[in-house]
Amino acid sequence: SSHHGKVDMAVDFSGHIYLFEFKVVEQLPEGRALAQIKARGYADKYRASGKPIHLIGVEFSSEQRQIVAFEVETVHKKGP
């Protein structure tokens, strides 16, 4: 949790932290899942751990009923 909400899934495994956000879109990817993780600061509470943090945005098409976008960004150190 952050003061802006909750990430959908957080996994602390093998010296890495993985933060997942899942979004359902109409048909085409919109890039909102990864953008939400960054905009709402979901990684902030994990930065002091010193572990690499992997931000993972996954978008599912409500029409196609499958993953239409999968974005990953890695944060290696404490940010501003």
Report the percentage of the chain scoring pLDDT > 90. 60
Spans of all domains in the chain: 9-75
pLDDT of amino acid 2: 46
pLDDT of amino acid 26: 82
The H or E element that residue 76 is part of is: none
Written as six digits, the tokens of 48 are: 């002091």
pLDDT of amino acid 31: 83
pLDDT digits (tens, 9 = 90+) for 6-36: 889 999 999 999 999 999 988 777 788 999 9
- For residue 13, give Cα distances in angstroms to 19, 48, 52: 11, 16, 11
